[in-house]
Amino acid sequence: MRATHDVSALRQMLAGLEAVRLPSASSAFTLGAKGPDEVLAETLARGALHEIYAAEGGDMPAASGFALALALRALNGQGEARPLVWVRQDFLDSETGRPDARGVSGFGLDPARLILVRVRDPEQALRAAGDAVRCAALGAVLLEWWGEPKVLDLTATRRLALRASVSGVSFFLLRRAARASPSVAVTRWLVRPMLSTPLAADAPGAPAFVVTLLRHRAGVQSHIWNLEWDHESCSFRDIPPLSRPVVSVPAGKSAGPTAEPSTAALRRAG
């Protein structure tokens, strides 16, 4: 009953936001890094569906960070600060940890702009995200999805993409413990973590990622980039090749990301 009440409360809040529509935003956004921006140009669409996968089970925190970074890039340049709605199943708190206000702030997002929606099951997650993406006063919606439930099929992603195109709200689908499946996503990304450069006094460096663009409906070919996130400018920057220590790879093994994500043994990441 409480979950149903929470979803109803979300609908009422979104209705209030919808009453005051904000000016329309630019139709596209960039990553901010020279490498991918030269390839993608203005082809990362706002008001569209984008998918993010973790390459392996242990790469889930990196995939979450990259998905949040993409959402922040989409939020930039939209005039007045718009909220980000993050929908996730409540059991993920024990599996991967709960988003923390200090961590979100350190990543570059004002926690006051984050609306965190916790639901019980996939059906409620899909319903909450579907309601949220229809609200044109929002900046972006991030749906964190676990596994491969039947409810998230091609028809469901088509419905989400259509609502995003009508409202202009960018939609990011973060897939955990799942294989790539048919969808109408404009882009599909595969994410691995990368060793960051330590700061002064051996403090942790900026988040770094190896990202593979698996799919782009505009016809852009698959690319792999090494990127670092700058929380102050809310922008990615390129990492020069071999600028970090590397580990030798045994003969016959591949050092790059796989073409498609695989379902791997999961471990606690929170």
Query: Confidence band (pLDDT; 50, 70, 90) for 84?
Result: very high
For residue 257, give the nearest of 27, 42, 52 by alpha carbon: 52
Q: What is the DSSP letter of 132?
A: H
For residue 11, what pLDDT is reported?
A: 54
Domains of the chain: 2-12+26-238 (3.40.50.300)
How many Cα atoms occupy the beta-carbon half-sphere of 200 within 13 Å? 0
For residue 25, what pLDDT is reported?
A: 41
For residue 147, what pLDDT is reported?
A: 81
Residues 25-34 pLDDT 10s: 448 899 999 9
The string over 116-152, giving b where at least 16 C-beta atoms fall within 10 Å of a residue's C-beta and e elsewhere, is: ebbbeebebbbbbbbbbbbbbbbbbbbbbbbeeeeeb
Q: Is residue 184 pLDDT above 70, yes or no? A: yes
Mean pLDDT of 43-69: 92
Q: Could you tell me the two tokens for 98?
A: 């709960």
Mean pLDDT of 37-44: 83
Q: Is residue 38 pLDDT above 50, yes or no? A: yes
Mean pLDDT of 197-207: 82
Q: Which residue has the higher pLDDT, 37 or 8?
A: 37
CB 205 within 8 A of CB 239: no
- Give dist(CA 152, CA 149) in Å, integer: 6
pTM value is 0.79
For residue 242, what pLDDT is reported?
A: 57
The string over 195-221, giving b where at least 16 C-beta atoms fall within 10 Å of a residue's C-beta and e elsewhere, is: ebeeeeeeeeebbbbbbbbbbbeeebe
Lowest mean pLDDT among 85-89, 212-216, 241-245: 241-245
Q: Is residue 111 pLDDT above 90, yes or no? A: yes
- Give dist(CA 189, CA 222) in Å, integer: 10
Q: Is residue 177 pLDDT above 60, yes or no? A: yes
- Give dist(CA 165, CA 133) in Å, integer: 9
CB 194 within 8 A of CB 208: yes
Q: Is residue 267 pLDDT above 60, yes or no? A: no
Query: Confidence band (pLDDT; 50, 70, 90) for 196?
Result: confident
In sequence order, what DSSP letters do the residues of 61-114 get, joined into one string?
HHHHHHHHHHHHHHHTTSSS---EEEEEETTHHHHH----HHHHHHHT--GGGE
- Return mean pLDDT, the chain: 81
Q: Is residue 163 pLDDT above 90, yes or no? A: yes
Query: Confidence band (pLDDT; 50, 70, 90) for 47?
Result: very high
* Whole-number percent of the chain with pLDDT over 70: 77
Q: Which helix (H) or strand (E) holds 189?
A: strand 187-193
Q: Which residue has the higher pLDDT, 202 or 212?
A: 212
Residues 10-27 pLDDT 10s: 655 554 444 333 333 448
For residue 22, what pLDDT is reported?
A: 36
